[in-house]
Amino acid sequence: MQFIADMHTHTVASTHAYSTVTENAAWAAEHGIKYLGMTDHGVAMQDAPDTWHFENLKIIPEHLCGVRVFKGIEANILDTDGNTDIYPDKAEVYYGILEWVNVSLHQQTFTPSTRADHTKAYLNALKDPHVDVICHSEGPKFDYDFDEVARACADSGRLIEVNECRVERGELQCERYKRILECCEKHRTNIIVNSDAHFYTHIGAFEKAEKLLAEIGFPEELVINANEERFLGYIKTRTERVSRNV
């Protein structure tokens, strides 16, 4: 596969990451990544940037080093109602700037609960038209109904992430991803492969995730960032979805 986008990356604004957005973009440009998501952690995380970080993203150019940089966030799902740390009092400001929204469950911001609760949290988060991707959802502490969420993503035109960083963790994560991907193939749910890079040299390095997809024969046409036309088609659909709901 010829990956052209990596839409889950962090900068020094997330204080456990170690590269600037310019360093990320320069590396991406050298390695064939044309589209880059700058998606630092939402403010509920202990080491997250201040709200000012997201309010001031507008100053970053659309292109750095020839790479289209999408101003984004990895928002934290906070409860079973699907609320995130894009809080209501900031939502209008954030959504006027943000071009890409990943959502995740993290132990720091959502205490692991039951399979039903985790499923409900994901399904309700998808009600926000700005949400693009359910990220690193293979974690066993946040077990959920893979089939139900994959179907909901397919129905709403959202994406499920295969996270290179998580695939690297070992067999348990890979086996859970295989089950998630089976559901995605069943429902024709689009996926996106991302690095979750916390250092610039990890951007676009999808070797283990790509191997996993090949091992199970996952349909390439469902991998939106393995083809520029598919990726830009998603961006167009996203823009229309958000516009309808403003």
Terminal Cα distance for the chain, rounded:
35
67-76 and 35-41 beta bridge pairing: parallel
Number of domains in the chain: 1
Closest CA to 108 of 133, 87, 78: 78
Cβ atoms within 10 Å of 155's Cβ, excluding its own: 11
Q: Is the pTM of this model over 0.85?
A: yes
pLDDT in tens, the chain (246 residues): 899 999 999 999 999 999 999 999 999 999 999 999 999 999 999 989 999 999 999 999 999 999 999 999 999 999 999 999 999 999 999 999 999 999 999 999 999 999 999 999 999 999 999 999 999 999 999 999 999 999 999 999 999 999 999 999 999 999 999 999 999 999 999 999 999 999 999 999 999 999 999 999 999 999 999 999 999 999 999 999 999 987
Name residue 200's amino acid.
Y
Distance CA(22)–CA(144), nearest Å, equals 37
Boundaries of domain holding 104: 5-245
pLDDT at 68: 98
Q: What is the pLDDT of residue 245?
A: 83
User: The CATH number of the domain where 28 resides is what?
Assistant: 3.20.20.140
The pLDDT of residue 217: 98
C-alpha gyration radius of the chain: 16
Tokens of 144: 């959920």
